[in-house]
Structure 1
């Protein structure tokens, strides 16, 4: 059960304004240019080809 003073104290601080990073449903993303899409694809392929020691590739080994 809350007391009147606890409720008043909670309401004493206004809600912070929404972040500018939050998107509104009415806004749409800007489409990527062909150069941006090509660069993203190149970076993805480089990362996939890299050795990731902390995330070893899964193999089809049977559990012993």
Structure 2
């Protein structure tokens, strides 16, 4: 059985991908690797942000800060 459908595009008929913008490439020195302590802190902050409930609306947040 053939897995192609009418919506599949033949890659030979597609337009070629344009070249990447030079702005996508870094020109400066390579960034320093982060320390294990920075990795641990980033992991903790990410876990906290993922498990912290977000406010339901901006209005209730603005009223709570008044």
TM-score, normalization: structure 2?
0.42
TM-score, normalization: structure 1?
0.43
Choose 1 or 2 for highest CA Rg. Answer: 1
Of structures 1 and 2, the one scoring higher in RCO (CA 8 A, sep 6+) is 2
